[in-house]
Amino acid sequence: MTTSGKLAGRHALVTGAGSGIGTTIAKALAAEGAHVSLAGRRREPLDAVAAEIGATAFVVDGFDVTSPEAVAQGLAKAREKFGPVDILVNNAGEAPSAPFEKTSLEAWNHVLTVDLTGVFLVTQAVLPDLKARGVGARIINIASTAGLKGYGYVSAYVAAKHGVVGLTRSLALELAKTGMTVNAVCPGFTDTPIIQRSIETIVAKTGRTAAQALAEFTKSNPQGRLIKPEEVADTVLWLASPAAASINGQAIAVAGGEI
């Protein structure tokens, strides 16, 4: 990967970097010259991503966003390798589905802890670095169109992502005078391994074809397709760039016109 580019010399921390959107974002940031700390719980997928990026990537495994201790330990390793973080991408999350009346308190708490409290914990831990950087520092939260509207059978996920959007807007106002920006990117259904596994589950449980199962995910997109991870990453790159200095407190839908 290049050591030049519009993000050269910057240190980006990407949570959930071992697969899907997180991997694509990490590669895009590295391609623009950023040093990227790849944060996630499992080392093997992170190592694979790091091998593709090269020397400008660093693996921070055991990074459980629900554990303040794990976050602190992982952040210390990232700082030791690349210095203070000045671009934070909160991407880690889970999206299990169940009817509301069959959603247990345990499941509800788990989703909110991972998808919302995790953003809180990581952001609070990284905030001293970002405030020291000031102008040019970025917090970019990967939310979802589920943070902007409702979907059936994913009530905990919808609640958590609405919380992420609300937190984004609050922090943007609170931190505006520091020169950093805080924004959310809200993808629609995106072509990731999670969606592919969901399609397989629908096929196995209902007997529908893969094409029929896919249609369940594309019908809400006016363009009639899944979003590409690269489209999400391109939005993150723009928000991380100097060109987006006045973009603050926004929840940007990458959804083909769904919102």
Active site residues: 157
3-state secondary structure of 186: strand
Q: Which residues of 9-24 are buried (b: 16+ CB within 10 A; e: fewer)?
A: ebbbbbbbbbbbbbbb
Contacts of residues 232-235 at CB distance under 8 Å and 24 or more positions apart, as own/partner, are 232/21, 232/24, 232/25, 232/142, 232/185, 232/187, 232/190, 233/21, 233/24, 233/25, 233/27, 233/28, 234/28, 235/185
Provide the pairing of β-strand 35-39 with 11-15.
parallel
Record the tokens describing residue 133, joined without a space. Answer: 């950087």
The DSSP H or E segment spanning 13 is strand 11-15
Burial of 234 from C-beta contacts in 10 A (0-12 / 13-18 / 19+): middle
